[in-house]
Amino acid sequence: MEKLFSPFRIKNIELKNRIVMPGLASFLITNDGGITELAIEHYRRRASGGPAIVIMEACAVSPEGVVSVHQARIDHDRYIAGLAQIARVMEAEGTLPAVQLHHGGRQTSAKVIQRKPLAPSPIPCPTIRGEVEPLTVDGIEELVQKFGDAADRARQAGFELIEIHGAHGYLVNQFLSRVSNIREDAYGGDIAGRTRFAREIVAELRRRLGPDFPIAFKISAQEFVPKGLTVEESIEILKILAAAGVDAVQVSAGNDLTPEWISQPMFMPKACLAPAAAEIRKALNIPVMAVGRINDPFVAEEIIANGMADLVCIGRGLLADPDMPNKAREGRFDEIRTCIACNTCMQSIFRKGRIECLVNPMLGREKEMAFHPARKTKKVMVVGGGPGGLNVAWVAARRGHDVHVYEQRPELGGQLVPGSAPGHKRELRTLIRFQEKQIEQFGVKCHLNHRVTVADIEAVNPDVVVLATGSLPLMPKVAGIDKEIVITYDDVLNDNAPPWKRTVVIGGGPTGCELALHLAEYGCAVTLVEMLPKIGRDLEAMTKKVLLQKLREHRVQIMTETRLTAVEDNGVMVVDRDNQKLFIEAEKVVIAIGTRPDKRLFDQIKSLGYEIHQIGDCLEPRTAKAAIYDSAVLGRSI
């Protein structure tokens, strides 16, 4: 880690290492843009983990520029005091406090801002839709001043670096890109015209902040749409902005049409945007920050060592484990709780209005989930070594309890073990590794190859029994379901190539879709059968987009509104949306229609008088995130 933890300078600012936490929406903001205690503690924890810079999430420079009522704001002096609290805790933890200035432009809703969104041209946001109001020259000049006013407030609040958000389909990006800017005046047309708005913002910030205050710019160097920005065009844009006063650039990608390039799901390779950063670094004489699926300190070290970037942005990785930089610097790699790029953080923002993390239940709950010693030491028997069982075990043990885990399989991890078999989900193994390290560190006793019986529980005589026994595959009640041709996900999800080719997968939910892709990647001819009109229900949006694309690329035949009616020795009978009976020939039929709780042990011991808790799938079918969160809460309450 010699390069990653070497010092660096931006202007007159000395950085202790090369790690930057980029601006990420926390949704820990009040509904009028104010700062909460939760937000302050969130940023304190990220800063305490050892990055050189933490960039506070996008702060709106104008009321009509917000994209959510829970977006941080910097458009009035009343916000300075709250922002200053964040800057102070960052600095107190030894990290350079930075902030991002932002305007959503057309990428917001009239419901949020109570007026038509502003835009460079009369082109609505393709995802939000709705009428927009093209900016006049006077309106542009007014916004330039608002960016300047916001920069003044940021400096007053104590931030020592300001980043202009010029990426991801927001207003500054909308001016830069031919996709959204068809103006024919001085703010459109060629690169110089489309860059003018950004250049004037940079010049205004430089005029107000003076020659020595560091200014960064975040750009979507590639938009991955027709007429969208490319690396070559972005280099020309950045040369103009560097001459105007930009001191560093963060090389991101994507816009509102290609969000999978903004927050890359697990299908995408690590550091997938680093090559673009490397091209830009060769062409510019200012520091370059790489971003995009950099969740591993070894990958980060390689980026710096190979000269691809001067700094690396680790965003979701520091949501998953705020202590990653310190752990990496100290060589404690097995203790890192690695981001698995499941995009639960994004999904929870859109669906729940708050940020959550699958692997880190403490995210956004840092004080609520602090560890406190147990008042009385208890013997805790955990039945099941899956993610929920392991999590409750080490949390309880960390608090001082005597914890024993019993697992019927020869290894820990539960459904994470087969679940990590598909190529795009291999990083799930890092969660198993982390849980195993915690188990070892806090002295949990593990008993593998041990199927627990009532007699075992009576022999151990624990104070607390935690059942994390998981679930059983749900099987449809159709003729022939017991035939040898029928298998379940456990029979498929392993590291071995299947010895068959023609396969029918019954069930188009997340598990069925992933199974279909896994088999197709091994060369199987796969037909996916789903009763509902669409497949991939409940999948996170960006993950779903890439997964469906990969299913198409691998020529998986998808049959929706189709119902399984019978299993034959050489295939299945189904009824399609037109009520037509069809036979699909297959060598194997994989059932993936869901699971049911495994309550067999609970039913046997519920009357014996033990304190019993159920977590995860044995309570009801649920996600790994829910199991880990519930177990984190339980482990703190025993």
Q: Is there a contact between 381 and 404 (Cβ–Cβ < 8 Å)?
A: yes
Write the DSSP string, 82-141: HHHHHHHHHHHTT-EEEEEEE--TTSS-HHHHSSPPEESSS---TTT-S--EEPPHHHHH
| Nearest C-alpha neighbor of 329 from the set 310, 301, 362 | 301
On the CB side of 424, CA atoms within 13 Å amount to: 22
CA distance 124 to 111: 15
Relative orientation angle of helices 510-521 and 541-553, to the nearest 10 degrees: 40
352-356 CB contacts, 8 Å cutoff, 24+ apart: 353/27, 353/70, 354/27, 354/28, 355/25, 355/26, 355/27, 355/28, 355/319, 356/625, 356/629
Pairing of strands 19-21, 53-60: parallel
What's the token pair of residue 234?
Answer: 């972005």
Question: What is the four-CA torsion angle of 361, 362, 364, 367, rounded to 10 degrees?
Answer: 150
Catalytic choice (170, 187, 406, 489): 170
Q: Is there a contact between 148 and 205 (Cβ–Cβ < 8 Å)?
A: yes
| Nearest C-alpha neighbor of 262 from the set 253, 273, 270 | 253
Question: What is the four-CA torsion angle of 322, 328, 333, 337, rounded to 10 degrees?
Answer: 10
What's the token pair of residue 610?
Answer: 């033990």
Pairing of strands 502-506, 588-591: parallel
- Verify whether residue 170 is a known catalytic residue: yes
Number of H helices, E strands in the chain: 21, 28
Q: In what order do the strands lie in the sheet with 563-568?
A: 563-568, 571-575, 581-585
* 610 contacts: CB under 8 Å, gap ≥ 6: 457, 462, 464, 465
Write the DSSP string, 416-440: HHHHT-SGGGTTHHHHHHHHHHHHH
Residue 414, sorted as left (phi over 0), alpha (psi -120 to 50) or beta, turns out to be left
CA distance 88 to 587: 64
The greatest distance separating any two alpha carbons of the chain, rounded to the nearest whole angstrom, comes to: 83
Q: How far is CA 237 from the centre of its chain?
A: 29
Is the CA virtual torsion 66, 164, 209, 87 positive or negative?
positive
CA distance 544 to 487: 25
Q: Is there a contact between 363 and 353 (Cβ–Cβ < 8 Å)?
A: no
- Active-site residue set: 170
